[in-house]
Amino acid sequence: MAMGYRVLLITATSWCLKRKRMKIFIVGKTGMVGSECRKVLSRDHELICPGKKEVNIISWDGVIESLTESSPDVILNCVGFTDMKACETEEFDVRKINIEGPRNLAQASARFGCKMVHVSCGHIFDGQKPMPQPYFEDDSPNPVSAYAKSKLESETAVRGNSPDYIIVRSMCLYGATGKNLVKSVLAQALRKSTKVLRVPVDQYGAPTWSYRLALQIKELIESNGKGTYHATAAGHCSRFEFVSHVLKALNINIPVEPCSLKDLKDAAGWSPNCLLENRLAKKQGIDVMVDWKTDLDRFLNMSGDDLIKEARRR
């Protein structure tokens, strides 16, 4: 384990070592959030992390069989069909993975008397709030894309079927695993054909490290949180500011040209305002998020060289 991760783990967990050791069933162990949750939660808890072949969340019988064998205290669902473009055409798979799967897990949590934790996102909002107003947990959703609609339905399925649940909404995630904001920036910047990057100045968010999100999920579980929580980094920036910061930190010299969302052909479904306010976690004194630049710089210092090599291999 890298020294930076070890320091963060010690800082985040040393004060709560006397909390109850739980058995946590993680679905989606290889994804960006799931892999970080495994790293964070394994220090203080017993994990059951089945692969796709071992448990199929869209199969009710498969879910029940797996949970009967493991008898967990917590079910953590990190699975999701997250390709926003593909969601527009792959309706069958999206419904199975993003809605029916979470419903099966939620119903199973009710049957076995365990807590259900479900990872959702801020795309359920339309992103039209005037800046810099963020979205709160109890704001009315208005999803505009197929992906966003499926995530809202997944939340409804969890609330309607599990008596003890946590829904965690986050946005603008990046990490060492899976497709994400930082990898997308590097893939574009290091492409041989790229002469300049055109990046919108009118889309705002709080870039959030998936590792930090995992720390927040751990805190929510150990604090016996209940209900819907927002979990994003503190502060905010435009996408233009984010991209410029990443390239400067990694010494990648390529011009970045400011533009508007409407000028980009592939920006369909992008929300102008992606800000979420962690109001409930702050109110309960369990918000562990830090400023977006602090975590981003730490992440790039730890993983930047590897991510550059990965981008150049493509």
- CA torsion, points 71, 284, 293, 267, in degrees to nearest 10? 70
The count of structural domains within the chain is 1
Picking from 195, 173, 197, the residue whose alpha carbon sits closest to that of residue 263 is 197
CA pair distance 273, 276, nearest whole angstrom: 9
Residue 227 Rama label (left phi>0; alpha psi -120 to 50; beta): left
Those residues with Cβ within 8 angstroms of residue 140's Cβ, 6 or more apart along the chain or in another chain: none
The band of 16, judged by pLDDT with boundaries at 50, 70 and 90, is: very low
Those residues with Cβ within 8 angstroms of residue 223's Cβ, 6 or more apart along the chain or in another chain: 284, 286
Q: Is residue 145 part of a domain?
A: yes
* pLDDT at 264 (0 to 100): 84
Mean pLDDT comparison of 31-35, 53-57, 191-195, highest-scoring range? 31-35
pLDDT by residue (tens digit) across 122-138? 999 999 999 999 999 99
pLDDT by residue (tens digit) across 262-277? 888 776 567 899 999 9
* pLDDT at 109 (0 to 100): 98
Q: Is residue 141 part of a domain?
A: yes
* pLDDT at 228 (0 to 100): 98
Q: Is residue 239 part of a domain?
A: no
CA pair distance 9, 22, nearest whole angstrom: 17
Picking from 17, 13, 25, the residue whose alpha carbon sits closest to that of residue 115 is 25
Q: Is residue 304 part of a domain?
A: no
Residue 296 in this model has a pLDDT that exceeds 80: yes
- Amino acid code (one letter) for 96: K
Q: What is the mean pLDDT of residues 296-301?
A: 98
Q: Is 196 exposed, middle or buried (0-12, 13-18, 19+ CB in 10 A)?
A: exposed
User: DSSP per residue over the chain, as a string?
Assistant: --HHHHHHHHHHHGGGTTSPP-EEEEE-TTSHHHHHHHHHHTTTSEEE---TTT--TT-HHHHHHHHHHH--SEEEE------HHHHTT-HHHHHIIIIIHHHHHHHHHHHHT-EEEEEEEGGGS-S-SPTTPPBPTTSPP---SHHHHHHHHHHHHHHHH-SSEEEEEE-SEE-SSSS-HHHHHHHHHT-TT-S-EEEESS-EE--EEHHHHHHHHHHHHHTT--EEEE---BS-EEHHHHHHHHHHHTT----EEEE-GGG-TT-TT--SB--B--HHHHHTT-----BHHHHHHHHHHHHHHHHHHHHHH-
Q: Is the dihedral of CA 44, 46, 52, 55 positive or negative?
A: negative
Percent pLDDT > 70 in the chain is 93
CATH number at residue 54: 3.40.50.720
pLDDT by residue (tens digit) across 139-159? 999 999 999 999 999 999 999
Residue 15 in this model has a pLDDT that exceeds 50: no
Radius of gyration of the chain (CA): 19
Q: Is residue 305 part of a domain?
A: no
Q: Is residue 243 part of a domain?
A: no
Q: What is the mean pLDDT of residues 210-232?
A: 98
Q: Are the beta carbons of 255 and 197 closer than 8 angstroms?
A: yes
* pLDDT at 265 (0 to 100): 75
Count of other CB atoms within 10 angstroms of residue 91: 11
* pLDDT at 246 (0 to 100): 98
* pLDDT at 269 (0 to 100): 63
As a whole number, the mean pLDDT across the chain is 93
Domain span at residue 61 reads 3-179+208-234+275-290
Q: What is the mean pLDDT of residues 199-205?
A: 96
Q: Is residue 99 part of a domain?
A: yes
* pLDDT at 214 (0 to 100): 98
Picking from 73, 34, 28, 63, the residue whose alpha carbon sits closest to that of residue 221 is 73
The band of 10, judged by pLDDT with boundaries at 50, 70 and 90, is: very low
* pTM of the predicted structure, to 2 decimals: 0.92
Q: Is residue 12 part of a domain?
A: yes
